[in-house]
């Protein structure tokens, strides 16, 4: 199926810098074609200094909505006329839609992150402990996701003490400020045995450095049997981290479903419909990744 571009074709897209590597156009255009809709989804490389003018241009052009990726997820906030509470709490927006002549921002990474945890493992998380490696943008969505699921404890582990403290401070106005604790990497030996969910939000092990892992074999050996190891990386699949964890008896979740589900949630907002072809989107991503 291909989308025919006509004079009535509506525009969706993703802004980032760089953004050429994004898999979102493949995934969203597959969904649009499957639904037979007259939309197209494009990637727009927007430099940070051009963000404001680009967003004004999008408004003038009548763009229906767009995704936001690095480095604009936080910088876009002042340019929006409305920010959904969850995106406000996290301090990052990945999905923007046009409403009443203004831009509305939300964060579907949170929905994406929790989807495989909810659908695959029907657990009561209220007595569970989450340990999160990394304190970048994705870790913010993971904190919100773990809070929504009701985790008893959320521990964020970072390698750089200064950045870790900045990360801590950046939440001071957030409703989620008290939902987590921060730790340096040296504290991992104490934290890993307590983890029911261990999430890698660092890029360590991502293609092409596929032999790397955020943890040593000795560190991961302390993961308890039946714990869940969740890597936000989707290529390679599985990562070295997930292989190590599986060898240890852990349940593995890779980053592909998060990518699919954040896209599904964004399409629901833009198209104002619940019926989204999730299998088509997943298949489109898997085909694209197998070409790499
Ligand atoms: P980011 O904002 O750059 O954050 C990366 C974090 O990893 C930072 O805290 C960084 O530490 C840490 N880190 C990097 N190298 C490290 C190392 N060698 N040792 C220890 N920590 C290290 O990136 P992001 O947006 O959070 O994305 C992180 C990963 O998640 C990427 O692989 C991305 O592809 C993936 N992701 C996947 C999805 C999905 O849908 N599946 C969505 C979002 C992100 P410093 O702060 O000290 O530099």
| Pocket residue to mutate for ligand 1, from 183, 209, 232, 281, most atoms within 8 A of Cβ | 232
For residues 43-55, give the mean pLDDT: 98
- 81 and 30, same structural domain? yes
- 248 and 126, same structural domain? yes
CATH number of the domain bearing residue 135: 3.40.50.720
Q: What is the pTM of this model?
A: 0.95
- 76 and 151, same structural domain? no
Residue at 191 is within a domain: yes
Number of Cβ within 10 Å of residue 289's Cβ equals: 17
Catalytic residue of the set 73, 190, 268, 292: 73
- 187 and 120, same structural domain? yes
| Pocket residue to mutate for ligand 1, from 108, 138, 254, most atoms within 8 A of Cβ | 138
205 lines ligand 1 (CB under 6 A): no
The per-residue pLDDT for range 189-225, each reduced to its tens digit, is 999 999 999 999 999 999 899 999 999 999 999 999 9
Active site residue 73: yes
- 238 and 156, same structural domain? yes
For residues 226-232, give the mean pLDDT: 96
Question: For the chain, what is the domain count?
Answer: 2
Q: Which residues does 76 contact at the CB level (< 8 Å), separation at least 6?
A: 51, 55, 68, 93, 96, 105
The per-residue pLDDT for range 73-122, each reduced to its tens digit, is 999 999 999 999 999 999 999 999 999 889 999 999 999 999 999 987 77
Percent of the chain clearing pLDDT 90 (strictly above): 93
Distance 232 CA to ligand 1 centre (A): 9
| Host domain of residue 184 | 110-254
CB 174 within 8 A of CB 90: yes
CATH number of the domain bearing residue 101: 3.40.50.10860
Pairwise CA distance, residues 95 & 65, whole Å = 7
Residue at 3 is within a domain: no
- 174 and 92, same structural domain? no
168 lines ligand 1 (CB under 6 A): no
């Amino acid at each position: 199926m291909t989308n025919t571009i006509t004079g009535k074709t509506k525009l969706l897209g993703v802004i980032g810098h760089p953004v050429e590597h994004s898999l979102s156009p493949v995934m969203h255009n597959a969904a649009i074609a499957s639904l037979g809709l007259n939309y197209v989804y494009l990637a727009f490389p927007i430099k940070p200094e051009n963000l404001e003018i680009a967003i004004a241009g999008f408004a003038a052009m009548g763009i229906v909505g767009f995704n936001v990726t690095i480095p604009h997820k936080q910088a876009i906030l002042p340019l929006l006329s409305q920010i959904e509470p969850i995106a406000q709490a996290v301090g990052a927006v990945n999905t923007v839609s046009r409403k009443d002549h203004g831009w509305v921002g939300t964060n579907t990474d949170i929905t994406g992150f929790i989807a495989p945890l909810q659908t695959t493992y029907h657990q009561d998380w209220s007595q569970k402990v989450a340990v999160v490696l990394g304190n970048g943008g994705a870790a913010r969505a993971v904190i919100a996701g773990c809070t929504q699921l009701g985790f008893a404890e959320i521990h964020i582990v970072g390698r750089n003490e200064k950045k870790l403290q900045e990360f801590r401070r950046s939440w001071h106005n957030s409703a989620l400020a008290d939902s987590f604790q921060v730790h340096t990497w040296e504290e991992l030996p104490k934290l890993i045995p307590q983890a029911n969910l261990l999430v890698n939000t660092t890029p360590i092990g991502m293609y092409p450095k596929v032999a790397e892992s955020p943890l040593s074999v000795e560190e991961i050996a302390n993961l308890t049997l039946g714990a869940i190891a969740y890597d936000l990386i989707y290529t390679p699949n599985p990562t070295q981290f997930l292989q190590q964890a599986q060898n240890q008896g852990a349940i593995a979740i890779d980053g592909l479903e998060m990518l699919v589900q954040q896209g599904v949630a964004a399409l629901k907002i833009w198209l104002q419909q619940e019926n989204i072809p999730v299998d088509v989107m997943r298949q489109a991503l898997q085909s694209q990744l197998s070409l790499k």
